[in-house]
């Protein structure tokens, strides 16, 4: 089997969920694809993240030219020429868009259904600048075209799979959920001195609950006001934020002395914070998968999360679920978590077991099965599948 993977997310100096997925999937596939040849296609926008010198003999890296902002859409439509030259059997596009060369099986990872919603729904949720509207329109067009041409659409949760089937009209057997977990860097740390050193360096003085600043902080702020006064005095919220200016609810909690915010902490610091936290709050309004609860569980932080999207299938019975707008229920769960140590320890143990179900390299093995399945299907416009060596 000759596998071509669009790995440009590893040469664009990116962050976020799709980048995390690609950065975890590619090394695992390299490790697990016994007997297969793998071709990685990146560009020259930024240095390639993997150690090129350490790539094994069955992996070939192609660095395509990146000259300006138009290079990305240019490569979106011409990358298949490079794949065709390498005579790949199966092309995998792990970042929502991609067009395979003629004759190759096409696997597209669509992380959620957002980009294939009706265009007016997509634009409604974004600022109305010319640049944003143009980018959203392009992504909608290319995602829709990519889905239409893919032999198999992989996605990251059963919730996302159901929504993609409903929105795209694809046959259900052509859309497959391959759930995945966080990086192994997220783990329980037993060295308390090292953890306390991080706490001191970041000037975190009170015990805290951890949360992502952009994931529905309004309900956290309302719930915090409902907590008993002794808990408010003894604990604080600690928000990590990928944006420089956090949402108003976060800033208001900070001004009131109820919260602290850390802007773009390093991954190693985030691991330490998960380990130090009394719990992790994730009242997100929507997630295609939702890695942060799994990250928290691996580090031993009990999870309180919303019941939206894929979050219930990720959390299972290892955490507490609420409606994303229910500050009363959130306050009740926070109170119990902080006051009942045995209950907190029970959730912690459940979390360890739950996170293990998503651990790598299991998702890579499942993706290899998806490649084989795609190869077994008749190509669109062809009467029989291509033959491929394993």
Q: Residue 25: helix, strand or coil by DSSP?
A: helix
Contact 131, 124 (CB under 8 A): no
**What pLDDT score does 126 carry?**
63
| Cα(254)–Cα(283) distance, integer angstroms | 19
Contact 186, 277 (CB under 8 A): no
| Cα(242)–Cα(80) distance, integer angstroms | 34
Q: Residue 15: helix, strand or coil by DSSP?
A: coil
**What pLDDT score does 125 carry?**
64
**What pLDDT score does 388 carry?**
37
Q: Residue 14: helix, strand or coil by DSSP?
A: coil
Residue 354 burial (C-beta neighbours within 10 Å; 0-12, 13-18, 19+): buried
Contact 273, 301 (CB under 8 A): no
| Cα(381)–Cα(104) distance, integer angstroms | 12
Phi, psi of 274 (to 5 degrees): -60, -40
Contact 100, 119 (CB under 8 A): no
| Cα radius of gyration rounded to whole Å, the chain | 22
**What pLDDT score does 93 carry?**
98
Instruction: Tell me the pLDDT of the chain (390 aa) as tens digits.
Output: 999 999 999 999 988 889 999 999 999 999 999 889 999 999 999 999 999 999 999 999 999 999 999 999 999 999 999 999 999 999 999 999 999 999 999 999 999 988 898 888 877 766 678 888 888 899 999 999 999 999 999 999 999 999 999 999 999 999 999 999 999 999 999 999 999 999 999 999 999 999 999 999 999 999 999 999 999 999 999 999 989 999 999 999 999 999 999 999 999 999 999 999 999 999 999 887 888 999 999 999 999 999 998 899 999 999 999 999 999 999 999 999 999 999 999 999 999 999 998 889 999 999 999 999 999 998 764 444 433 333
Contact 69, 36 (CB under 8 A): no
First to last CA, the chain: 5
**What pLDDT score does 241 carry?**
94
Helix (H) / strand (E) containing 194: helix 192-201
**What pLDDT score does 382 carry?**
44
| Cα(292)–Cα(186) distance, integer angstroms | 10
The structure's pTM equals: 0.85
**What pLDDT score does 129 carry?**
83
């Amino acid at each position: 089997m000759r596998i071509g993977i669009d790995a440009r997310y590893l040469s664009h100096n990116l962050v976020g969920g799709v980048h995390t997925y690609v950065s975890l999937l590619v090394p695992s596939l390299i490790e697990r694809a016994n007997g297969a040849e793998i071709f990685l296609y990146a560009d020259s926008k930024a240095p390639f993240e993997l150690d090129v010198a350490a790539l094994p003999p069955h992996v070939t890296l192609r660095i395509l030219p990146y000259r300006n902002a138009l290079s990305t859409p240019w490569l979106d439509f011409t990358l298949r020429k490079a794949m065709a030259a390498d005579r790949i059997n199966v092309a995998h596009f792990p970042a929502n868009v991609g067009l395979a060369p003629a004759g190759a099986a096409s696997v597209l990872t669509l992380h959620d259904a957002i980009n294939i919603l009706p265009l007016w729904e997509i634009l409604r949720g974004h600022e109305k600048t010319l640049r944003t509207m143009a980018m959203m329109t392009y992504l909608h067009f290319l995602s829709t075209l990519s889905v239409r041409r893919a032999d198999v659409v992989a996605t990251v949760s059963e919730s996302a799979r159901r929504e993609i089937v409903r929105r795209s009209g694809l046959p259900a057997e052509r859309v497959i959920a391959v759930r995945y977990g966080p990086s192994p860097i997220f783990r329980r740390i037993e060295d308390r001195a090292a953890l306390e050193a991080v706490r001191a360096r970041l000037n975190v003085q009170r015990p805290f609950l951890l949360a992502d600043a952009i994931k529905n902080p309004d309900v956290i702020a309302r719930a915090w006001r409902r907590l008993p006064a002794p808990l408010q005095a003894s604990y604080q919220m600690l928000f990590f934020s990928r944006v420089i200016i956090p949402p108003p609810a976060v800033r208001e909690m900070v001004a009131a002395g109820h919260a602290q915010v850390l802007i773009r902490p390093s991954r190693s610091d985030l691991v330490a914070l998960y380990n130090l936290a009394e719990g992790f709050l994730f009242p997100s309004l929507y997630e295609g998968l939702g890695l942060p609860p799994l990250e928290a569980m691996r580090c031993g932080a009990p999870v309180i999360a919303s019941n939206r999207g894929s979050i219930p299938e990720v959390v299972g019975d290892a955490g507490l679920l609420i409606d994303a707008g229910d500050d009363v229920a959130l306050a009740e769960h926070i109170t119990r978590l902080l006051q009942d140590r045995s209950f907190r320890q029970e959730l912690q143990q459940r979390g360890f077991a739950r996170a293990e179900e998503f651990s790598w390299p299991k998702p890579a093995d499942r993706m290899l099965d998806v490649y084989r399945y795609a190869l077994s299907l008749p190509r669109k416009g062809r009467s029989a599948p291509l033959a491929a060596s394993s």
